[in-house]
Structure formats: C-alpha cells, structure tokens
C-alpha cells in the first residue's frame, strides 16, 4: 500500500454552471484552453466512472504556462443532469476548500482583480514566513463562488 502508486499530479476539477463564462474568467487569469470535449451521450460509462447518475458533461482542460506536463484545471459542466448545489459556504469545510496559485506580483494581481470586479473573500494580507520572507495572500471567488487563492512567489522558499 505504501509503495508509490501515483506518477504525477494531473488536474483539479471545478464544476461550473456556465462553461463559456468560466472559460472567459480563467482565460483572464492567464489560463489557456488546451482541450474541450463532451463525454456521455452515447457512452453510458461516464456516470458510472464518476459515481453519479450523469449521462452527459462538457469538460475543458486549461493550463498555466507552456509545460505540457503541468497540471491542468479541469472545468466540468454537467449537461444531463445539470449542475446543482453551491460551493462551500466557508473555507473550514472538510474536503477541497480552495485552489492556490503563485503570482509574480501580488500587489498588481490584487489591483487587477479589484479593478475587474472580482468577488474578493478578504483583502490582501501579508504574513511573516521562514527565512525572513513575507508572503502576500488573498482569496477571491470565481463566477460560481469557488474560492481561489493567490500567493506571492516568496511562498516557494517554504518548500525548498
């Protein structure tokens, strides 16, 4: 069991209500669409694979940067049946609560998000970290309310 079974991290999945709106939002954040596909329709196995009574969905893989081995953001819009529910109301729920990204300039990113009317969870904060670093952190929501986080690149020193 403890033997290495996983080869690499592939994707994070976000269920969306309106695929075109979400593509525009994530494209504005710097993501590039690398695949767009429909699963289901004539393939009854997609629901079984997901443990749902899902007959059809649209998926879009989006990637940051040019590395073909980099993980992708997998946006999924359920078509049959349609998406339901809401993202977690608070970040202290069990399960995946947010997705974090490193940015080169946290202040510039903060200003761009504010200028574009993005729903900010809390204002930009700065925290003292190891090795004399100061980390900038802020959380915001995508169009469906999924919480995303941006962190200044100094965070990388925490794991080196």
Q: Where are the alpha helices (DSSP H) in 92-152?
A: 106-115
pLDDT tier at 32 (50, 70, 90 boundaries)?
A: very high
Q: What is the DSSP letter of 112?
A: H
Can you read off the two tokens belonging to residue 94? 């069990």
Q: Which residue has the higher pLDDT, 152 or 44?
A: 152
d(CA 42, CA 59): 16
pLDDT tens digit string along 33-79? 999 999 886 655 677 777 788 888 999 999 999 999 999 999 999 99
H-helix or E-strand spanning residue 132: none
Can you read off the two tokens belonging to residue 84? 């339901």
- Please say whether the beta carbons of 136 and 107 come within 8 A: yes
pLDDT tens digit string along 73-128? 999 999 988 999 999 888 888 888 899 999 999 999 999 999 999 999 999 999 98
């Amino acid at each position: 069991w403890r033997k290495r079974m996983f080869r690499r991290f592939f994707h994070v999945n976000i269920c969306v209500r309106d695929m075109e709106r979400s593509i525009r939002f994530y494209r504005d954040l710097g993501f590039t669409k690398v695949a767009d596909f429909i699963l289901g329709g004539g393939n009854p196995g997609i629901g079984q694979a997901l443990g749902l009574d899902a007959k059809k969905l649209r998926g879009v893989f989006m990637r940051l940067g040019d590395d073909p081995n980099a993980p992708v953001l997998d946006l999924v819009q359920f078509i049959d049946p349609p998406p339901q529910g809401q993202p977690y109301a608070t970040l202290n729920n069990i399960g995946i609560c947010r997705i974090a990204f490193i940015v080169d300039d946290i202040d510039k990113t903060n200003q761009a998000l504010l200028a574009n009317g993005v729903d900010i969870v809390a204002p930009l904060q700065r925290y003292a970290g190891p090795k004399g670093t100061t980390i900038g952190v802020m959380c915001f929501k995508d169009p469906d309310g999924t919480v995303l986080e941006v962190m200044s690149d100094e965070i990388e020193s925490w794991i080196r």
